[in-house]
Amino acid sequence: MLTIAVLAGGKSQRMGQDKSIMTFQGEVLIRRVLKRLAGLANEVMVIAPRNHEYLSLGVMVEPDILPGCGPLGGLYTALIKSSNQEVALIACDMPFVNPGLLLHQLDILLSDHVDVVVPSSEKGLEPLHAIYRKDTSLPAVKEALDSGERRLVSWFPNVKVRILTQIETNSFDPWGLMFLNINTPEEFTQAEKLAK
């Protein structure tokens, strides 16, 4: 059993418009992300304001319980609202999110009895393509938020984290696109070229 939570509550300041509903390769970007993840989970939610664009996606839309707390607040909402112990947190602007890797991460979470399975890339940890265990992660996330933290990985030292190396993840995406996220119009154009 798995809950997929797609974070779509960001301000998209560098994009200049709501990137989650921009048209990517002929379809709304967040719809592309949801399609790539279809069939992986028995529960899917979008963490975002309840507006008509998201409601048309046919999945649960959950507004942030603690608005203004960034992705860490989004994770907190996902963990609270999830009916499953296993929660995958995904960014809405990752057009190449990798379902095979997520299933591999879920297997590790269950078999190794850890609290978080997070991949790493040349940029560092990728907590928006990660799997979290609800009962152990939630108290640590809440404590981090209560202490004023906003960094998504700030609470990792307080739980059991399994970091996947680039060598471990390369076989799932030899082109290195799965962690690509889109923040600017230039990045959007480049990602569409890569998708072709």
Inter-residue contact 184 to 104 (CB < 8 Å): no
Q: What is the DSSP string of 98-140?
A: -HHHHHHHHHHHHHHT-SEEEEEETTEE-TTEEEEEHHHHHHH
SS3 category, 47: strand
Joined together, the tokens standing for residue 110 give: 């269950």
Model pLDDT, residue 141: 98
Round the CA-based radius of gyration of the chain to a whole number and report it.
Answer: 16
Nearest to 138 by CA among 1, 15, 3: 3
Model pTM above 0.85: yes
List the structure tokens of 6.
């797609």
Structure confidence at residue 125 (pLDDT)? 97
CATH topology of domain 3-195: Spore Coat Polysaccharide Biosynthesis Protein SpsA; Chain A (3.90.550)
Q: What confidence score (pLDDT) does residue 14 get?
A: 63
What is the Cα–Cα distance from 98 to 160, expressed in whole angstroms? 23
pLDDT tens figures, 60-110: 999 999 998 999 999 999 999 999 999 999 999 999 999 999 999 999 999
CA-nearest of 96, 97, 93, 74 to 30 is 93
Dump the DSSP string for 140-161.
HHHHHHHTT---TTTTGGGS-E
Contact 101, 169 (CB under 8 A): yes
